[in-house]
Amino acid sequence: MVNFSVDKNKTTPLYIQIFNQFKKYIENGSIPPGYKLPTIRSLAKELGVNNVTVINAYRLLEANGYIEKRVGSGTYVSETVKQSDMPIEDIKALEHGQILVNKNMINFSSSSPNPELFPVDDFKVIINKVLERDGGYAFEYQDTKGYMPLRKVIAEFIRKDDVNIDYEDVQIISGGQQGIDVVSKALINFGDCVFVESPTYSWAIASFKSRGAEIVDIELEKDGINIDVLEEKLRIFKPKLIYTMPVFQNPTGISYSMEKMKKLIEIANKYDTYIVEDDFSNELNFSNNQHLPLKSCDRYDRVIYIKSFSKIYMPGLRLGFILSPKNLINSFAEAKYVTDLSTWLDAKGI
C-alpha cells in the first residue's frame, strides 16, 4: 500500500493534499479499482488531521468519480475510474484554497453579492463625475484618515445602531481584513497575547500571528463567548486584544446576548484590555430582531469597531472603517499610512 502524508507548513489546504495523493495513486494504478479505503477516523489519526479534513477529501474524490460509497460496507475505489472533469486550471485553483463556482451553482462560502446586481452603469457615472471635477488631482495622495464628508456620513450611518461618535473617530480602511491588519500593526508586538473566540475567522488569526502574537482560544456558548473561561484566562494572561464577532459570528452564526455583551465590556475594562469587534455581516439580517453591535454598549471606550461594506456593497472596492477609542486614533492613522497611505475610492468620495 502507498504511503500518505500531509505538510502542514504548505499553503495548500490539507484536504486538497490528500485528494491529490489519492488521485495520483488511483490514476497510476498504485491503488487498484475496488480497493477499500481506510476509514475516516483511521486515516485522520494516521495523518494527524481532524476527521473533517478527511471527509472533505473523500467528498471531492467521490464528486470526481474516483471513489464510491457502499452502504454498510465502506468506501471503495471506483471499478471504472473516470478522468476528472475538472480542468487543470480548476485543480490549481483548489490547490490554492479557492472555491470553485460553476454554472448553476450558488456560492454560500463568501456571502458576497451577486456581481450581476452590481450598479456598474451608475458607478461609471460617478467615476466620470469625480474625474471631471478633480482632473489629475484625483490621483494625488489623500487624507490618510479618509474623505471627510464620507467620515461624517459614516458617523450618521452608525447612529442607527445606537453608536454616537464624532467623525474624527472614523478611520477609513480598504475592507475589514485591512482593518484587522491595521489594528495588529498599531497594537501588537512580538510575544503579545491575543484572545480569540473558538472557532473564529482564520485570516484574523493569521494577521495576529504575522505580528508574533500568541493566540489563546476562548470557547463560544449559544449566546456568545464563555465569560467564566474568559475571566479565568484573563487572570493568567495579559492579552493585548480580545478579538470578537458578536453579531452573526463567523463561522458559527452565533449572536451575543445583550447581557453577555455588557459583561464582556465590563471585564475588558476591569482587566485593562481592548476588544476588537469585527462587524462584517450585521446588515445581512432578514429577521425582525435588531442586533446592536458591541460598540453600542461601550461606555468605557474599550471597543475597537471594524466595519466592512464588502458583504453589502461591491466587495472588490475594498471599503470599510474603524471606530477608534480616543487614545488610539493617531496610532491607527499611522498604521494605515504605513500600509497604503490612503484608500483611493474613499478619498474621492465614491
Tens of pLDDT, residues 31-67: 888 899 999 999 999 999 998 899 989 988 888 888 9
SS3 341: coil
Tens of pLDDT, residues 273-283: 999 999 988 88
What does DSSP assign to residue 67?
E
Please state, in angstroms and as integers, the Cα–Cα distance from residue 136 to each residue in 131, 344, 348, following that order.
7, 13, 12
Give Cβ neighbours of residue 218 (< 8 Å, ≥ 6 apart).
195, 196, 197, 198, 225, 226, 229, 230, 233, 242
Q: What is the pLDDT of residue 26?
A: 87
Does CATH number 1.20.1090.10 belong to domain 14-95? Answer: no
Q: What is the pLDDT of residue 325?
A: 92
- How far is the C-alpha of 322 from the C-alpha of 308, rounded, in Å? 9
Give Cβ neighbours of residue 329 (< 8 Å, ≥ 6 apart).
168, 169, 171
Phi, psi angle pair for 109, to nearest 5°: -80, -25
Q: What is the pLDDT of residue 82?
A: 54
Burial class (CB in 10 A: 0-12, 13-18, 19+), 190: exposed
- How far is the C-alpha of 243 from the C-alpha of 201, rounded, in Å? 10
Please state, in angstroms and as integers, the Cα–Cα distance from residue 50 to each residue in 7, 8, 335, following that order.
14, 12, 37
Tens of pLDDT, residues 157-167: 999 999 999 99
Per-residue pLDDT of the chain (350 residues; tens, 9 = 90+): 567 888 888 878 888 889 988 988 888 888 888 899 999 999 999 999 998 899 989 988 888 888 998 888 889 998 876 554 555 555 555 545 455 555 566 666 666 677 777 888 888 898 899 889 888 887 777 778 888 888 999 999 999 999 999 999 999 998 888 999 999 999 999 999 999 999 999 889 989 999 999 999 999 999 999 999 999 999 999 999 999 999 999 889 999 999 999 999 999 999 999 999 999 888 888 788 889 999 999 999 999 999 988 777 777 778 899 998 999 999 998 888 887 766 655 444 55
Residue 25 in grid coordinates: 495513486
Architecture of domain 129-347: 3-Layer(aba) Sandwich (3.40)
Q: Where are the domains of the chain?
A: 14-95, 129-347
